[in-house]
């Protein structure tokens, strides 16, 4: 049986690889993607996610999420990923659009409709997850597991980009 997952992401080049893995891994069932500001603005991460879904011909709903962090000033990693977040990659035009609701509400709605608890995979800043858990605590029983791409929350990083999320 495939593991149902929702993927919360800030697509720059690094997340593109993770998105491909989530789409094509036979053991995973990617049911929803959400974007968050991180590597670049949320408008750019959303555009990147839609471009990647189109490139891989993946019919997965996508919702745009938080534009700014909840507890600190915004910062990005454009110095690493380029101004677009996907420097060096050109994609064909498409008509795809995000869902018309904020990411945390899209996650809530999808969780409440799911026939079984879902694993949330967050590979960008955790703003959408924080909004979900603080604004929709009724969702907690519907979350099987929360998997994050994170590291040190304090000291220990050797460069400013070593732990961006």
User: In CATH, what number is assigned to the domain containing residue 31?
Assistant: 3.90.245.10
In a domain, 64, yes or no: yes
pLDDT at 25: 98
Average pLDDT, integer, range 115-140: 96
In a domain, 60, yes or no: yes
In a domain, 140, yes or no: yes
In a domain, 58, yes or no: yes
Q: Of 28, 34, 31, whose CA–CA distance to 46 is shortest? A: 34
Higher pLDDT, 158 or 94: 94
Residue 97: is its pLDDT beyond 90?
Answer: yes
Residue 152: is its pLDDT beyond 80?
Answer: no
Cα separation, 18 vs 155, in Å, equals 26
In a domain, 49, yes or no: yes
pLDDT at 2: 95
Q: Of 39, 14, 55, 40, whose CA–CA distance to 165 is shortest? A: 39
DSSP 25: -
How many domains, the chain?
A: 1
Average pLDDT, integer, range 48-70: 94
Per-residue confidence band for 164, with pLDDT thresholds at 50, 70 and 90: low
Instruction: State pTM to two decimals.
Output: 0.87
Per-residue confidence band for 91, with pLDDT thresholds at 50, 70 and 90: confident
Residue 138: domain span: 3-148
In a domain, 20, yes or no: yes
- What the block records as the tokens of 136 is 């929709």
In a domain, 159, yes or no: no
Cβ neighbors of 145 (< 8 A, separation 6 or more) are: 119, 120
Residue 81: is its pLDDT beyond 70?
Answer: no
Q: Of 123, 110, 142, 118, whose CA–CA distance to 3 is shortest? A: 118
Residue 160: is its pLDDT beyond 80?
Answer: no
pLDDT at 93: 80
């Amino acid at each position: 049986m495939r593991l149902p997952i929702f993927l919360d992401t800030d697509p720059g080049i690094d997340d593109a690889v993770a998105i491909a893995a989530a789409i094509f891994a036979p053991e995973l069932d990617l049911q929803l993607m959400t974007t968050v500001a991180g590597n670049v603005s949320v408008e750019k991460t959303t555009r990147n996610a839609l471009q990647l879904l189109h490139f891989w011909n993946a019919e997965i709903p996508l919702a745009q999420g938080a534009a700014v962090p909840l507890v600190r000033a915004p910062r990005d990693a454009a110095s690493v990923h380029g101004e677009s977040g996907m420097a060096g990659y050109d994609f064909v035009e498409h008509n795809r659009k995000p869902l018309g609701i904020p990411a945390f509400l899209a996650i809530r709605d999808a969780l409440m409709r799911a026939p079984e608890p879902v694993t949330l995979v967050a590979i960008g800043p955790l703003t959408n997850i924080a909004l979900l858990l603080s604004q929709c605590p009724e969702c907690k029983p519907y979350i099987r597991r929360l998997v994050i791409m994170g590291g040190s929350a304090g000291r220990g990083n050797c460069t400013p980009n070593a732990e961006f999320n």
